[in-house]
Amino acid sequence: MNNSVALGNIVKEGSLIAAEGRASSITLKKDDSPYRLFGILVIVLMFGAFFLWAAIAPLDQAVVSMGRTVVASQNKVVQHMDGGIVSKIHVRDGDIVTAGTPLMELDDVQLTAQLNSTEGQLWEVEASLERLRAERDGIPLKWTAEHLRTIPADIIKTQEKLFEARQQAQLSGQNALKQRRPQAQEQIVGLQQQITGLEARLTTLVKRRNSLDQDIQRLQGLFNQRLISDIELREKERESTQLEGDMASTKAEIARSKTEIARIGEGMTETGHQVVLNREEYLKEVSTQLSELQASRTQLHSQQVAILDKLARIVIKAPVDGKVKGFEVVTVGAVLQPGAPIMEIVPNGQAFKIIAEVDPSHIDVISPGLDAEIRLSVFDNARYFPVIYAKVDDVSADTLTDPTSKMSYYKTSLSLNKESLSVLDKEQLQLVSGMPVEVMIITGERTLLDYLLKPFADMLARSFNEA
């Protein structure tokens, strides 16, 4: 019985608790409705604010295209003015080089042979000039330390022998002419002595004739008086005639001797003149040779400088720091044509610009001066894709065609904002020529609602057109 009572009490208590629970539940349901209304109001306000913002808030409208980075300045084209045969290749396409790095070398056999020939001729000319100067000035031939250092010994020895031979020939000619003077002087002395004797004889003959003339006059007087016969008179007259002949002969010999003296004197004068003339002609010849050799030296020196300049360019070097691109030569022994492009060097540390390929369907909204955002999605290891800013500089006048994809595009050039490049420095990132980028060219503004509704508006417009 006691158990029945206890069980009944328990049932009553459970009923009471259940009743209280239902009462509490009823109470809670009545209190929750304001909160629900408040939540619904908040959601409605949020959606309303969103649609209001979507309807009035401006958003940038952009044309998205792919592009790449290029060096703002032109790539350095490597060429060789003279061309030649490739003997060594030091780089390949894609190699990083610094300014002055040897890129390739050309064969120098022909130029070396030309240089040796030109220098040999130049040494000959230099030695000949030094010899001729000594001959002109009449001084011994001496060589400077520079001559002995640069001019081969065999050339110097040859010029010394030639100098001695020419000097000896010149002295021999002068001595031969000078030796004629003593001989001529001896002849003149002999002739003068002969003239003295002839003049003495002539004086004697004159005296004899004068005396004979007196005798003839005396005999003539006697003959006229017929005191003597004419035999003696005729004998004296014959003797007088003989004396006249001797006097004439003596005078002729004196004249011949004087003429011979004059001739010998003229010969001596001529000999002196000949010595001087020979010296003048010799010096004139030396001066002419000097002028010709100096002209030859100038020409040979120019040839030497030209050959040395070509040899200095046998090693083709990088003009700037950068990356090798478009390497055309692949084998040793290839022939380079003069002035033909060999490769390009994409400079490092240069300003970059962006070349974008804009779809022809968007060209109506693309023009110079538009702003653009450049997304560098190539930096996968960065914390986020860096964004830099640019401005459209130029748009091609006509479409171009990609040789690989055969797709048409407008080539658009954009200059980078230098201040926005600081984001790359912070992330320790560096632009490289040829890096792919995503270009967003800002073409205007529109609301988010316009953006969301445009597909539906376009669809309705097409449906009406079809209708």
The answer on 267 and 361 residing in a single domain is no
The answer on 127 and 165 residing in a single domain is yes
For residue 368, what is the DSSP state?
A: T
pLDDT for 52: 67
Task: Please indicate, yes or no, if residue 146 is contained in any of the structural domains.
Answer: yes
Task: Please indicate, yes or no, if residue 454 is contained in any of the structural domains.
Answer: yes
The answer on 387 and 298 residing in a single domain is no
Question: Nearest-CA neighbor of 390 among 339, 355, 436?
Answer: 355
The answer on 321 and 260 residing in a single domain is no
CATH number for the domain spanning 324: value is 2.40.50.100
Task: Please indicate, yes or no, if residue 83 is contained in any of the structural domains.
Answer: yes
Instruction: Tally the domains of the chain.
Output: 3
Mean pLDDT of the chain: 78
Task: Please indicate, yes or no, if residue 253 is contained in any of the structural domains.
Answer: yes
The answer on 455 and 361 residing in a single domain is yes
Angle CA(380)–CA(436)–CA(415) in degrees, nearest 5?
115
* More reliable by pLDDT, 2 or 85: 85
* More reliable by pLDDT, 59 or 61: 61
pLDDT for 265: 67
User: Which residues does 328 contact at the CB level (< 8 Å), separation at least 6?
Assistant: 340, 341, 342, 343
The answer on 175 and 69 residing in a single domain is no
* More reliable by pLDDT, 273 or 108: 108
Residue 13 confidence (pLDDT) above 60 = no
The answer on 124 and 227 residing in a single domain is yes
The answer on 190 and 128 residing in a single domain is yes
Quick: pLDDT tens for 102-151. Answer: 999 999 999 999 999 999 899 999 888 888 888 888 888 888 888 888 88
Task: Please indicate, yes or no, if residue 1 is contained in any of the structural domains.
Answer: no
The answer on 381 and 260 residing in a single domain is no
Residue 227 confidence (pLDDT) above 90 = no
Residue 136: count other Cβ atoms within 10 Å of its Cβ: 14
The rounded distance, in Å, linking the Cα atoms of 424 and 67 is: 18
Mean pLDDT of 315-333: 85
pLDDT for 5: 40
Task: Please indicate, yes or no, if residue 29 is contained in any of the structural domains.
Answer: no
Residue 49: count other Cβ atoms within 10 Å of its Cβ: 10
User: What single letter denotes the amino acid at residue 191?
Assistant: L
Residue 57 confidence (pLDDT) above 80 = no
Residue 17 confidence (pLDDT) above 60 = no
Task: Please indicate, yes or no, if residue 387 is contained in any of the structural domains.
Answer: yes
Quick: pLDDT tens for 346-397. Answer: 887 667 888 999 999 888 889 898 989 888 877 766 556 678 889 999 999 8
* Confidence class for position 323, pLDDT limits 50, 70, 90: confident
Quick: pLDDT tens for 442-460. Answer: 887 666 555 566 666 656 6
For residue 378, what is the DSSP state?
A: T
Residue 251 confidence (pLDDT) above 90 = no
Per the DSSP assignment, residues forming a β-bridge with 63 are 441
Angle CA(394)–CA(397)–CA(398) in degrees, nearest 5?
130
The answer on 329 and 408 residing in a single domain is no
* Domain stops at, among 262, 291, 314: 314
Instruction: Give the pairing of strands 84-89 and 352-358.
Output: unpaired
Task: Please indicate, yes or no, if residue 143 is contained in any of the structural domains.
Answer: yes
Residue 125: count other Cβ atoms within 10 Å of its Cβ: 20
The answer on 134 and 219 residing in a single domain is yes
Among 113-117, 230-234, 339-343, 378-382, which range has the highest average pLDDT? Answer: 113-117
pLDDT for 53: 65
Q: Measured in Å, how far apart are the chain's first and last C-alpha atoms?
A: 92
Q: Is 278 exposed, middle or buried (0-12, 13-18, 19+ CB in 10 A)?
A: middle
Domain that holds residue 367: 62-73+347-460
